[in-house]
Structure 1
Amino acid sequence: MPGRDRFSFAYGAALGFACDLLLGDPRRGHPVAAFGRAAQSIERRLWRDHRGYGTLHTLVCAGGAVAGAGLLARAARRHRAAEIALTAAATWSVLGGTSLGREARAIGGALAAGDVEVARERLPHLCGRDPQALDAQAIARAVVESVAENTSDAVVGALVWGALGGVPGLVGFRAVNTLDAMVGHKSPRLRRFGWASARLDDVVGWPGARLTAALTVLAGPDPRGALRVARRDASRHPSPNAGPVEAAFAGALGVRLGGTLAYAGRVEHRPVLGEENRPVRTADIERAVRLSRRVSLLALGAAVSARTVGSLFRNAGRNR
Structure 2
Amino acid sequence: MSVSTSIGLALGFAIDRAFGDPRRWHPVAGFGSAALALERVTYRDARVAGVVHEVVAVGSVLALGRVVGRGGWPVVALATWTVLGGTSLARTGRRMADALESGDIAAARALLPALCGRDPEYLDADGLARAALESIAENTSDATVAPLFWGAVAGVPGLLGYRAVNTLDAMIGYRNARYLRFGWAAARVDDLANLVPARLAGALTVVLAPLLGGSAVGALAAWRRDAGAHPSPNAGVAEASAAGALGIRLGGPTRYEHGTELRPVLGSGRAPEVRDLRRAVLLSELVQLGAVLVAVAGAGVLSPRGGGAEPSAFRP
TM category (shorter chain) comes to: over 0.9
Question: Are 1:23 and 2:19 matched, yes or no?
Answer: yes
Contact 2:153 2:303 in 1 (8 A): no
Alignment of 1:69-80 (within 5 A): 69-74=65-70, 76=71
SS in 2 for 1:70: helix
Report 1:1-320 matches (<5 A).
5-74=1-70, 76=71, 83-220=72-209, 221-274=214-267, 276-310=268-302
Specify whether residues 25 and 312 from structure 1 end up closer, same or farther in structure 2 by C-alpha distance, changes over 3 A only: closer
Question: Cα RMSD over matched residues?
Answer: 1.3
Q: Distance in 2 between matches of 1:233 and 1:267?
A: 21
Letter in structure 2 aligned against 1:294: L
Q: Which residue identity is paired with 2:164?
A: A
Can you list the C-alpha shifts for 1:2-47, whole angstroms capped at 9, x where unaligned?
xxx1111111111100010010000111111111010010011111
In 1, distance between residues paired with 2:287 and 2:33?
A: 31
> What is the CA deviation profile of residues 296-320 of structure 1, one whole-angstrom value per residue up to 9, with x for unaligned ones?
1111111111112346699xxxxxx
| Compared CA separation, residues 269 and 175, structure 1 to 2 (3 A) | same
SS at match of 1:132: helix
Between Structure 1 and Structure 2, how many residues are aligned?
302
Whether the 8 Å contact between 1:140 and 1:285 is mirrored in structure 2 is yes
The structure having more radius of gyration, on CA atoms, is 1
Q: TM-score, length-normalised on structure 2?
A: 0.93
Partners of 1:44 and 1:185 lie apart in 2 by 17
Contact 1:130 1:265 in 2 (8 A): no
Q: CA deviation at 1:265?
A: 3.6
Q: RCO greater where, 1 or 2, for CA within 8 Å and sep 6 or more?
A: 2
TM-score, with structure 1 as normaliser: 0.92
CA deviations 1:265-318 (Å, max 9, x no partner) are 4110111111x301111111111111111111111111111112346699xxxx
Segments of 5+ residues of structure 1 without an aligned counterpart are: 77-82, 315-320
CA shift digits 1:214-246 (9 cap, x unpaired)? 000001121011011111111011110001110
CA contact (8 A) 2:2 2:305 kept: no
Instruction: Encode CA deviations 1:71-94: one digit per residue, 9 max, x unaligned.
Output: 1113x2xxxxxx111000000000
Alpha-carbon distance in 1 for matches of 2:109, 2:302: 46
Tell me the residue number matched to 1:318: none
Q: Which amino acid aligns with 1:296?
A: Q
> Counterpart of 2:248 in 1: which secondary structure?
coil
